[in-house]
């Protein structure tokens, strides 16, 4: 009986650990003082989206997994000003970058933890 209780407690402990959960909610965001930007992002392994002259602010949310590659870049096309790209992992800022000037590109990338 003691072994059964111990095994049950171990299973409950392991299943409640956050390292056990591989799913991640990822939000890509682009903001800035410019009105539009060309945006590239990797929403899932093996896919690259390129969106031309997208109005800002821009955001997109995807369900990914720990270890997946994430990438977003934004290029200032016609305006003078600044742009910030941010990747959120589970609601917290994972990576962010800011750049300014015409034709400047802000980029962040990495592998989800």
Q: How many CB atoms lie within 10 A of CB 98?
A: 13
Calculate the dihedral angle through the C-alpha atoms of 58, 73, 85, 76, rounding to the nearest 10 degrees. Answer: -80
8 Å CB contact between 68 and 46: no
- Could you tell me the residue ranges of all domains in the chain? 23-111
Mean pLDDT for all residues in the chain: 87
pLDDT in tens, 53-85: 999 999 999 999 999 999 999 999 888 899 999
What is the chain's length?
Answer: 113
How far is C-alpha 62 from the geometric centre of its chain's CA atoms?
Answer: 8
CATH number belonging to domain 23-111: 2.60.40
Q: How many CB atoms lie within 10 A of CB 37?
A: 27
List, in sequence order, the alpha helices (H) in 39-109: none
User: What global pTM score does this model have?
Assistant: 0.80
pLDDT in tens, 24-49: 999 999 999 999 999 999 987 778 99
Per-residue pLDDT at 21 exceeds 70 = no
Lowest mean pLDDT among 9-13, 96-100, 101-105: 9-13
């Amino acid at each position: 009986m003691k072994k059964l209780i111990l095994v049950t407690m171990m299973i409950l402990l392991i299943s409640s650990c956050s390292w056990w959960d591989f799913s991640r909610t990822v939000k890509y965001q682009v903001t800035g003082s410019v009105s539009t930007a060309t945006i590239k992002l990797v929403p899932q392994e093996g896919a690259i989206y390129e969106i031309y002259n997208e109005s800002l602010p821009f955001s997109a949310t995807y369900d990914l997994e720990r270890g997946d590659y994430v990438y977003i870049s934004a290029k200032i096309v016609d305006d003078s000003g600044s742009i910030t790209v941010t990747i959120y992992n589970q609601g917290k800022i994972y990576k962010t970058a800011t750049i300014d000037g015409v034709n400047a590109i802000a980029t962040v990338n990495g592998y989800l933890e």
